[in-house]
A and B are shown apart, each in its own frame.
Chain A
């Protein structure tokens, strides 16, 4: 620990473990480390997300925030670390699941929306077909049921149903994100992961997509993790915020505390650069 870090710690009190919150965290990641060759992507990162909560992760490119999210989606496995979801029938470190178990868990319990719709969608299949694919993986076979559930999910994502058979390649960026969102929530997952979901959209479209996410969060109490370099997005969406830099967590706190009373020099710089 440097002298400066000592100084920061002395400036605020150490937090106690939860006392009133008696529900266990839905997501617990402990001591995650990952290197790609000489590059340290994540260094001893731990995170907890409680049911119904929205955790925001901010940081510049290369901070490790998207790598961490991909690990929450079991797309990547760390060199070290433990990952648990508090769900019936699940025990032990999820990084030890085999490929098939991982695929089933992700299809049923984890939804994800990527910044780049090409990562989440088949661009030349119909939008409804993209959503139905997720239901097929989970075992739904009746055509009528597939179509009805795809329609419900698209509707909940505020996608215009008249266009449900259009291919994503024909849609605007905002509509493509709604299709991704419908696919992500079709099976009512326990956890929704959002990787820069509105980056690259026009500001007005961004506001509409964020509003849809807020509505879903309020009506269904979905637990969410949202990664963004856009502080406005994090401020709108998150209950708690983790600030990452160079693969480590530099600061963690309630969203208003991170924005109004940032403790770490890096967070202060980040917040003041925005204002």
Chain B
């Protein structure tokens, strides 16, 4: 079977110029992920699990290694692909779910959720009705659908965020502690949605503070170990 993702020797280092210090986040990461597989990242706090997710998504630039992503047009190395290619994949195939919503002023919750469908070319009425379905599913009160999430509580914002992130099935989904700050019902809705996406063949890599939430979905796990901070580096 063709893999979705094949990672080889991936390493990330932060260079903090004002301290003249290098922070090695991780190195030598390698794994292969197939369609419909769920990979859990494990390890102590601060070991670099979220950093690895962000490096795969290219919010962080890797120092070395390869992230081969297989598309219909052949494979592309996400570690060094052009920014415009990454932007294109993020619109169509690779999703990232965090616990933080970047709400914009004066944009209603249902419009924020519908946006990925609009960008994929789906007409406004259909996109909005699908958005409302997911707001309902995640337990956002009906009165709030037309309201601006900038004023919502953390938990309600998170539900809007999840509805938006999961409305359009992607080929690869990166999950950065999506269950944090969720109530029981929303957590159950999230796990149902993830199981559904997995069954549709979406490949997933996740970090979970309480891995028990997704125990039934995990196929494999990777344990990350801590690396040392270099002292001052002579240039």
Contacts and interface: CB of A to CB of B under 8 A. Distances in A.
Given A7-B15, A11-B15, A254 B63 contact: no
Nearest to A4: B235
Interface string A124-149: 00000000000000000000000000
A236 B104 contact: yes
A261 B106 CA distance: 29
6 contacts: A17-B82, A20-B85, A53-B87, A214-B104, A218-B118, A261-B60
Interface size for chain B: under 10, 10 to 19, 20 to 34, or 35 or more residues?
35 or more
A218 B111 CA distance: 12
A249 to B, nearest CB: 13
Smallest CB-CB A-B distances: 8 pairs: A265-B17, A207-B105, A12-B61, A18-B82, A261-B60, A256-B59, A21-B84, A20-B85
A211 interface: yes
Interface string B22-63: 000000000000000000000000000000001000111111
A239 interface: yes
Interface size for chain A: under 10, 10 to 19, 20 to 34, or 35 or more residues?
35 or more
A11 to B, nearest CB: 5
B88 A13 contact: no
A161 interface: no
A215 to B, nearest CB: 9
A207 B103 CA distance: 12
Contacts of B73: 20
B81 A254 contact: no
B105 A211 contact: yes
B106 A13 contact: no
Interface in B66-101: 71, 73, 76-77, 79-89
Interface of B: 13-18, 54, 58-64, 71, 73, 76-77, 79-89, 104-107, 115, 118-119, 235
Contact of A21 (B13, B58, B88, B106): B88
Given A13-B64, A260-B60, A53 B84 contact: yes
Contact of A12 (B63, B71, B106, B119): B63
Contacts of B118: 218
Given A18-B85, A256-B59, A261-B61, A211 B106 contact: yes
Interface string A20-61: 110000000000000000000000000000100100000000
Nearest to A207: B105
A91 to B, nearest CB: 23
A240 interface: yes
A275 B112 CA distance: 25
A8 interface: yes
A109 interface: no
B104 A12 contact: no
A262 B13 CA distance: 12
A24 to B, nearest CB: 11
A21 B81 CA distance: 11
Contacts of A18: 82, 84-85
A240 B83 contact: yes
Contact of B54 (A7, A214, A260, A269): A260
A264 B85 CA distance: 22
Contacts of B83: 15, 240, 252-254, 257
Contacts of B76: 19-20
Contacts of B85: 18-21
